[in-house]
């Protein structure tokens, strides 16, 4: 192998190394599409660091290539040595860079999956929160209805008590008048008077109580529902 051929092969190997790394980075960029700005910035910084390492290795290989070429020129064209072990070192470095890039892509996928899971939990939480607020509003409305029904019930009970008192007073007067009339006639004269039947307050009160109980039961069932 001559000096010029050795230098040409080393440059080709470096160009192949750089091209392979560029392809890996392009594939990694494809995997990173759609992430948030902070994650993208972090990954871009990592990729930039990897590129800097690659450039540093290329520069070191270029210096090594120059030294090899200089040595060949000094030793003469007849002397040749085996530098295959350098290619193995370069290949190992390429494998390490490829493994680091694959690991970075795997971490990016895990971050993306975690973000999707967090968004799902956030959506569920917001839905449950809206449902809870709606139920609390309904409960508060039913409490107001229950308070109104309680006031209505109290008012009806007071009206019933008032009607009872009004009924007791005419009844008492009627009994007193009957007693006076019986005392005057001595129980010997029977007087029949045709008159229109009076208002049955007891029946009216009973009807009002029945209507109130039906209405209260229906409102209570509506409140429970």
HSE-up of 32 (CA within 13 Å, CB side)? Answer: 23
Which tens digit of pLDDT belongs to each residue from 92-114?
899 999 999 999 999 999 999 99
Return mean pLDDT, the chain: 75
Confidence at residue 18, expressed as pLDDT on a 0 to 100 scale: 42
In whole angstroms, give the CA distance from residue 142 to residue 38.
Answer: 48
Confidence at residue 15, expressed as pLDDT on a 0 to 100 scale: 40
Those residues whose C-beta lies under 8 Å from the C-beta of residue 35, and which sit 6 or more positions away, are: 43, 108, 111, 112, 115
In whole angstroms, give the CA distance from residue 129 to residue 134.
Answer: 9
In whole angstroms, give the CA distance from residue 176 to residue 195.
Answer: 19
Least confident span in 27-31, 144-148, 160-164: 27-31
Confidence at residue 184, expressed as pLDDT on a 0 to 100 scale: 73
- The pTM for the full model equals 0.33
Which tens digit of pLDDT belongs to each residue from 22-64?
444 444 444 444 557 888 888 888 888 888 888 889 888 888 8
Q: What is the mean pLDDT of residues 125-144?
A: 92
Confidence at residue 67, expressed as pLDDT on a 0 to 100 scale: 86
Mapped to the 3 state alphabet, what secondary structure does 66-93 carry?
Answer: HHHHHHHHHHCCCCCCCCHHHHHHHHHH
The more confidently predicted of residues 2 and 98 is: 98
The band of 5, judged by pLDDT with boundaries at 50, 70 and 90, is very low
Q: What is the mean pLDDT of residues 62-90?
A: 76
> Does 73 score more than 80 pLDDT?
no
| Phi, psi dihedral angles at 19 (to 5 degrees) | -65, -40
Confidence at residue 77, expressed as pLDDT on a 0 to 100 scale: 52
> Does 149 score more than 60 pLDDT?
yes
The band of 185, judged by pLDDT with boundaries at 50, 70 and 90, is low
In whole angstroms, give the CA distance from residue 53 to residue 47.
Answer: 10
Confidence at residue 45, expressed as pLDDT on a 0 to 100 scale: 85
């Amino acid at each position: 192998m001559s000096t010029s051929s050795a230098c040409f092969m080393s440059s080709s190997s470096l160009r192949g190394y750089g091209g392979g790394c560029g392809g890996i980075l392009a594939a990694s960029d494809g995997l990173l599409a759609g992430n948030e700005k902070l994650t993208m910035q972090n990954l871009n910084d990592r990729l930039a660091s990897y590129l800097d390492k690659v450039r540093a290795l290329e520069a070191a290989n270029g210096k090594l290539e120059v030294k090899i070429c200089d040595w060949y020129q000094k030793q003469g064209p007849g002397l040749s040595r085996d530098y295959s072990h350098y290619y193995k070192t370069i290949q190992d470095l390429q494998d390490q860079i490829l493994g680091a890039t694959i690991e970075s892509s795997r971490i990016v996928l895990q971050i993306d999956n975690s973000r999707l899971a967090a968004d799902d939990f956030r959506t569920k939480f917001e839905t449950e929160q809206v449902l809870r607020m709606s139920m609390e509003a309904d409960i508060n409305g039913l409490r107001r209805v229950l308070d109104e029904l309680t006031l209505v019930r109290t008012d009806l009970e007071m009206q019933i008590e008032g009607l009872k008192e009004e009924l007791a007073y005419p009844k008492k007067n009627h009994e007193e008048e009957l007693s006076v009339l019986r005392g005057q006639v001595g129980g010997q004269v029977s007087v029949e008077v045709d008159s229109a039947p009076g208002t049955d307050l007891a029946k009216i009160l009973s009807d009002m109580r029945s209507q109130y109980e039906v209405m209260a039961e229906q409102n209570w069932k509506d409140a429970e529902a």
